[in-house]
């Protein structure tokens, strides 16, 4: 006789598990987690150390400012006394008292020294604050990477957990059930079978216990909090076992008892509540301290996803030049991986290949006449022609690749930052801004989304438009498609065979021909595609070519 028993429950599967989970071993995932945890701890300690330095600099700066205020008050008082004495001297001929003079000039010198010291302390505080911002971003990125490797570790653990639970095992059940005088043989047999079921459940539940224990050990090995699972959690899952009970021998003994030997094939099942509880505990990651999050907007993401570097995409900034004025407005671009090129485009846009780009900043707008004219005035260069269209906020034109490089070099010297022309992969990545379509707004041309021949704007096929005249792409960049062609760092190559995959510029080959991207006001929308590439001689200057800058 065979008895098949399927108790309620849902067989464990990982269909609910995130699609990003890669099948790596627990050992590899655990080592990755430990290494990243060390990296995060080091970044966090560095952040707190710099934060302490900033606090100290702020305290010193506050003292320096109070000293300036005190010296200013003293100087104002001495200046009045001195002025009164001079007036008296002019009126009566009585020379200004030497002590009055000395006090006045001493107060003046003290004020100048205090102002110099305050300026020095302000610079020190600004440098320290900038360093804090850098360490803050590094810490957040390390924490987000920890989130990713934790997800990989969870995936590996659940592989083990699933194997433990779903592994079918044979359990032997053998006992002699006392029937008692009050029972009939039928009643004794039925109760014996119930006892066999209970025994099978106990044996089967051990699979769950062992599996959860395995997960717990893995949890402890990772240095994370232990799984907080109770016996009640397990006992509730006793209804989540698939049992195939096959009696091997059944008989009534001479003393009236019922003897049973059975072979039970057991296979574990985890119900959703316990499964989710284990998952949630295994995916727990230490919270990012509030001190690190201060001033940042961190959008919660599914576990395993990695936010690119902070500041968040679209957040802009401007570096100071030596004269105190501000440089071009820049936008932070997040790190990421994208498919570069187009399978439907020209041969030069192939083969499509995966490129991983590190975080960087890119000009929110194309470099304007106002910005380039400032460079010309500072370096004695001739200002380029604007064709009578206007300067100020219009993109600079009639600039060669060599001119654009000279501008980035000057801007680097002015700010102390590393400004360059974007690499081609950086430019296309920023142009796409997470999209996979021809243009960042979709596959078709839309009216008044750009300045080109046929784009529907008031400047179409006539002249350049002031920068920012059209809405930005999802990364916060304006005019990546249309207006003017933009010079890039890369040397022209006929296709992508052998192209870098790390976001760097491809500079081998004939350096006299460099890439341009983006199309222009006098070109049709096909030339505006993010993947469309062209080239030009580095010395050529045209009324439809400008450039955009990047910063590292």
- What's the confidence (pLDDT) of residue 181? 80
Mean confidence (pLDDT) of the chain: 81
For residue 176, pLDDT beyond 70: yes
Name the band, by pLDDT with cuts 50, 70 and 90, for residue 159.
low
pLDDT digits (tens, 9 = 90+) for 67-112: 999 999 998 998 999 888 888 888 888 887 888 889 889 989 999 9
Q: For the residues 44-51, what does the mean pLDDT come to?
A: 90
For residue 315, pLDDT beyond 90: no
Q: For the residues 483-498, what does the mean pLDDT come to?
A: 97
- What's the confidence (pLDDT) of residue 549? 98
Residues 6+ apart with CB under 8 A from 292: 44, 47, 136, 139, 140, 143
- What's the confidence (pLDDT) of residue 497? 96
- What's the confidence (pLDDT) of residue 12? 26
% of residues, the chain, pLDDT over 70: 75
Name the band, by pLDDT with cuts 50, 70 and 90, for residue 168.
low
Name the band, by pLDDT with cuts 50, 70 and 90, for residue 33.
confident
56-94 CB burial, b ≥16 within 10 A, e <16? ebeebbeebbebbeebeebbeebeeebeebeeeeeeeee
For residue 270, pLDDT beyond 60: no
For residue 274, pLDDT beyond 70: no
175 contacts 199 by C-beta, under 8 angstroms = yes
Q: For the residues 108-121, what does the mean pLDDT come to?
A: 92
Stated as kind and residue range, the H or E segment containing 265 is strand 258-268
Name the band, by pLDDT with cuts 50, 70 and 90, for residue 141.
confident
- What's the confidence (pLDDT) of residue 167? 54
**What span, in angstroms and rounded, lies between the C-alpha atoms of 435 and 253?**
77
Name the band, by pLDDT with cuts 50, 70 and 90, for residue 295.
low
- What's the confidence (pLDDT) of residue 512? 95
For residue 230, pLDDT beyond 70: no
Q: For the residues 252-257, what does the mean pLDDT come to?
A: 86
pLDDT digits (tens, 9 = 90+) for 511-526: 999 999 999 999 999 9
Q: For the residues 333-360, what does the mean pLDDT come to?
A: 90
**What span, in angstroms and rounded, lies between the C-alpha atoms of 422 and 401?**
12
Q: For the residues 137-145, what does the mean pLDDT come to?
A: 86
DSSP assignment of 48-82: HHHHHHHHHHHHHHHHHHHHHHHHHHHHHHHHHHH
pLDDT digits (tens, 9 = 90+) for 410-469: 999 999 999 999 999 999 999 998 888 999 999 887 678 899 999 999 999 999 999 999
For residue 374, pLDDT beyond 80: yes
pLDDT digits (tens, 9 = 90+) for 181-211: 888 888 888 888 888 877 776 666 665 555 5
- What's the confidence (pLDDT) of residue 511? 92
pLDDT digits (tens, 9 = 90+) for 393-402: 999 999 999 9
Name the band, by pLDDT with cuts 50, 70 and 90, for residue 310.
very low
User: Which residue did the predictor score with more confidence, 163 or 235?
Assistant: 163
Residues 6+ apart with CB under 8 A from 446: 456
């Amino acid at each position: 006789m065979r008895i098949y028993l399927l108790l309620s429950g849902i067989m464990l599967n990982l269909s609910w598990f995130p699609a990003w989970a890669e099948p790596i071993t627990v050992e590899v995932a655990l080592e990755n987690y430990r290494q990243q945890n060390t990296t995060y701890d080091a970044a966090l300690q560095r952040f707190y150390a710099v934060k302490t330095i900033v606090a100290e600099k702020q305290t010193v700066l506050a003292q320096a400012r109070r000293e300036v205020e005190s010296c200013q008050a003293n100087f104002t008082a001495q200046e009045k006394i001195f002025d009164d004495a001079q007036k008296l001297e002019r009126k009566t001929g009585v020379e200004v008292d030497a002590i009055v003079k000395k006090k006045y000039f001493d107060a003046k010198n003290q004020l100048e020294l205090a102002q110099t010291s305050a300026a020095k302390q302000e610079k020190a505080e600004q440098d320290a604050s900038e360093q804090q911002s850098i360490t803050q971003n590094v810490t957040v990125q390390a924490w987000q990477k920890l989130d990713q490797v934790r997800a990989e570790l969870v995936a590996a653990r659940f592989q083990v957990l699933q194997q433990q639970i779903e592994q079918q095992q044979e359990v032997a059940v053998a006992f002699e059930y006392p029937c008692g005088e009050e029972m009939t043989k039928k009643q004794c047999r039925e109760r014996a079978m119930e006892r066999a079921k209970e025994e099978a459940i106990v044996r089967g539940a051990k699979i769950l216990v062992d599996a959860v224990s395995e997960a717990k050990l893995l949890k402890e090995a990772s240095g994370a909090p232990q799984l907080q699972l109770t016996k009640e959690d397990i006992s509730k899952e006793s209804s989540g076992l698939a049992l195939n009970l096959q009696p091997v021998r059944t008989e009534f003994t001479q003393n009236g008892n019922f003897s049973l030997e059975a072979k039970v094939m057991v296979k574990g099942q985890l119900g959703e509540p316990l499964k989710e509880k284990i998952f949630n505990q295994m995916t727990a990651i230490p919270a990012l301290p509030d001190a690190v999050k201060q001033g940042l907007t961190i959008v919660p993401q599914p576990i395993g996803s990695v936010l690119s570097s902070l500041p968040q995409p679209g957040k802009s900034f401007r570096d100071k030049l030596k004269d105190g004025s501000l440089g071009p407005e820049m936008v932070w671009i997040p790190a990421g991986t994208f498919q570069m090129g187009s399978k439907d485009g020209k041969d030069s846009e192939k083969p499509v290949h995966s490129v991983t780009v590190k975080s960087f900043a890119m000009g929110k707008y194309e470099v304007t006449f106002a910005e380039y004219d400032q460079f010309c005035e500072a370096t004695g260069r001739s200002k380029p022609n604007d064709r009578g269209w206007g300067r100020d906020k219009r993109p600079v034109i009639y600039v060669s690749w060599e001119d654009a490089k000279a501008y980035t070099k000057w801007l680097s010297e002015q700010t102390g930052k590393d400004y360059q022309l974007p690499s081609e992969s950086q430019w296309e990545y920023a142009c796409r801004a997470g999209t996979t379509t021809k243009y960042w707004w979709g596959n078709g041309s839309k009216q008044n989304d750009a300045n080109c021949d046929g784009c529907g704007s008031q400047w179409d096929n006539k002249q350049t438009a002031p920068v920012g005249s059209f809405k930005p792409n999802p990364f916060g960049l304006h005019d990546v498609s249309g207006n003017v062609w933009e010079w890039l760092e890369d040397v022209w190559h006929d296709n992508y065979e052998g192209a870098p995959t790390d976001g760097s510029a491809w500079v081998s080959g004939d350096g006299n021909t460099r890439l341009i991207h983006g199309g222009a006001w006098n070109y049709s929308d096909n030339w505006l595609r993010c993947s469309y590439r062209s080239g030009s001689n580095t010395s050529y200057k045209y009324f439809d070519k400008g450039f955009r800058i990047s910063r590292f």
